[in-house]
């Protein structure tokens, strides 16, 4: 099995998006030649994970500049992409970079924006390596690590955030086993993390989300490593819904709990997590997990995509600039 995992491929003025909704059953690609195709791929979770959402959006802007190289059309594409998913910081970071490139000196707009998108992609790949290098130093030999959602190559421009640390850890015999939570309702853990671990030869044990506390209580988890979508100045961290329950259990059972994220995920304009806008998604995502449920009348569904873990409950933040603690002032 090949160990190369690429959620995006750029070439000949086209963006190829690995359709993550189809994994692990099928490897299928979406061809994007317009920003609108990229925006829909982000909304539908064909491409997901905070860092790679930003990278995909940057390429979406570059695609639009190829089709219609006028600042007003490109600006409209940026606005459309900004409306896709509100919580992750990286999307807005990348779109701000593209806006700055758009406003730069005159010249070939489309080339300039393509160059910028590629640069954002490369920078994230480098950030992933830096996080893995810093993170692996915290691990002792043979640790059993619990992780949530998918934070690997599928979610970034490189080897991943939390899963990148795990990958380095496994190569250096510091990670002996990974527990991947299913991550309801869409199953990023069961479908994507398990797939990545299997491809990389990392021993992985899949658990349902409601088994994590029992596993920690049984002393079978040495450390929790998760990613992030947006981190406020005081360390409050939004991540996939369910992360908060893991943090509660980790605190109760004395298991170190780390967030792994590049600086592009930090939003120091926010004093606390109270100001983070949490995306609410289509109830159908929850209803379709139980066959026949959608036919019942009067069933209400609450489907937030993320929750916020208090910064005070997070042991440390493993970033591309080292292991940090709040308050963050950059």
Catalytic residues: 229
- Contact range with ligand MRU by CB under 6 A, out of 32-40, 227-235, 247-255, 293-301: 227-235
List Cβ neighbours of 319 (8 Å cut-off, separation of 6 or more).
131, 134, 260, 261, 262, 263, 266
Residue 174: CB atoms within 10 Å: 20
Compute the least distance from the CB of residue 213 to ligand MRU, in Å: 19
Question: In the block, which residue shows the tokens 């086993």?
Answer: 177
Pairing of strands 223-226, 204-207: unpaired
Pick between residue 88 and residue 112 the one whose CB is nearest to ligand MRU.
88
Question: Looking at beta carbons only, is 67 or 285 nearer to ligand MRU?
Answer: 285
- Establish if 188 lies at the interface with ligand MRU (CB under 6 A): yes
Q: Are 237 and 231 in contact (CB under 8 A)?
A: yes
Decide if residue 158 touches ligand MRU (CB under 6 A): no
Return the residue of 77, 138, 151, 204 that touches ligand MRU, per CB under 6 A.
Answer: 151
Query: If you ran DSSP here, which 8-state letter would residue 312 be given?
Result: G
State the angle between helix axes of 71-82 and 109-136 in degrees (0 to 180), rounded to the nearest 10: 30
Closest to ligand MRU by CB, 166 or 305: 305
The residue among 112 and 316 lying less far from ligand MRU, judged by its C-beta, is 316
The answer to whether the beta carbons of residues 59 and 117 sit under 8 Å apart is yes
Helix, strand, coil abundance in the chain, percent, nearest 5? 45, 20, 40
Contact flag: residue 319 with ligand MRU (CB under 6 A): no
Among 63, 117, 161, 237, indicate the residue that binds ligand MRU (CB under 6 A). 161
Binding of ligand MRU by 136 (CB under 6 A): no
Q: How far apart are CA 76 and CA 183, in angstroms?
A: 34
According to CB under 6 A, which residues from 42 to 81 bind ligand MRU? 48-51
Query: 185: cis peptide before it, omega within 30°?
Result: yes
Give the interface size with ligand MRU as a residue count (CB under 6 A): 17
**Rounded to whole angstroms, how far apart are CA atoms 243 and 210?**
12
Q: Which of 120, 105, 104 is closest to 59 using CA atoms? A: 120
From the list 27-35, 153-161, 200-208, 269-277, the region that binds ligand MRU by CB under 6 A is: 153-161
CA distances from 135 to 27, 47, 77, 230 (A): 30, 25, 37, 19
What is the token pair recorded at 260? 């792994």
**For ligand MRU, which residue of 62, 117, 155, 215 counts as binding (CB under 6 A)?**
155
* Smallest separation (angstroms) from ligand MRU to the CB of 124: 10
Q: Are 56 and 34 in contact (CB under 8 A)?
A: no
Query: Would you say the C-alpha torsion 111, 117, 121, 122 has a positive or negative sign?
Result: positive
Q: Of 51 and 273, which has the nearer Cβ to ligand MRU? A: 51
Q: Considering beta carbons, is residue 76 or 278 the nearer one to ligand MRU?
A: 278
- Contact between 189 and ligand MRU by CB under 6 A: the answer reads no
CB of 308 to ligand MRU, least distance (A): 12
Site of tokens 């049984």: 218
Q: Which residue is nearest to ligand MRU (CB)?
A: 227
With respect to ligand MRU, which residue has the nearer C-beta, 155 or 200?
155
Q: Shortest Cβ distance from residue 53 to ligand MRU (Å)?
A: 6
Scanning 99-107, 129-137, 225-233, 317-325 for contacts with ligand MRU by CB under 6 A, the matching segment is 225-233
Is 323 within 8 Å of 316 (Cβ atoms)?
yes
Among 170, 223, 240, 258, binds ligand MRU (CB under 6 A): 240
Query: Which residues here bind ligand MRU, judged by CB under 6 A?
Result: 48-51, 88, 149, 151, 155-156, 161, 188, 227-229, 239-240, 305
């Amino acid at each position: 099995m090949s160990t190369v995992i690429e959620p995006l491929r750029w070439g000949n003025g086209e963006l190829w998006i690995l359709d993550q909704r189809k994994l692990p059953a099928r490897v299928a690609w979406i061809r994007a030649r317009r920003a609108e195709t990229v925006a829909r791929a982000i909304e539908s979770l064909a491409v997901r994970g905070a860092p790679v959402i930003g990278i995909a959006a940057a390429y979406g802007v570059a695609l639009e500049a190829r089709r219609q190289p006028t600042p007003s059309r490109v600006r409209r594409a940026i606005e459309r992409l900004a409306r896709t998913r509100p919580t992750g910081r990286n999307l807005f970071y990348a779109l701000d970079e593209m806006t700055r490139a758009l406003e730069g000196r005159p010249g070939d707009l489309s080339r300039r924006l393509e160059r910028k998108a590629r640069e954002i992609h490369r920078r994230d790949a480098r950030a992933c390596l830096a996080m893995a290098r810093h993170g692996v130093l915290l691990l002792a030999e043979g640790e059993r690590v619990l992780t949530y959602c998918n934070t690997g190559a599928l979610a970034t421009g490189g080897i991943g955030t939390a899963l990148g640390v795990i990958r380095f850890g496994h190569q250096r015999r510091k990670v002996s086993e990974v527990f991947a939570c299913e991550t309801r309702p869409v199953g990023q853990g069961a479908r994507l993390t398990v797939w990545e671990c299997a491809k990389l030869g990392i021993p992985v044990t899949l658990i349902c989300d409601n088994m994590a506390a029992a596993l920690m209580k049984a002393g079978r988890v040495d450390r929790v490593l998760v990613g992030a979508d947006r981190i406020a100045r005081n360390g409050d961290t939004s991540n996939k819904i369910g992360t908060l329950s893991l943090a509660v259990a980790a605190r109760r059972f004395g298991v170190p709990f780390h967030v792994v994220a590049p600086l592009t995920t930090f939003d120091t304009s926010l004093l606390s997590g109270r100001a983070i806008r949490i995306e609410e998604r289509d109830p159908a995502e929850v209803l379709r997990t139980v066959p026949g449920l959608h036919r019942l009348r009067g069933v209400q569904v609450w489907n937030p995509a993320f929750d916020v873990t208090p910064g005070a409950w997070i042991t440390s933040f493993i970033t591309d600039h080292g292991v940090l603690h709040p308050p963050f002032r950059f």
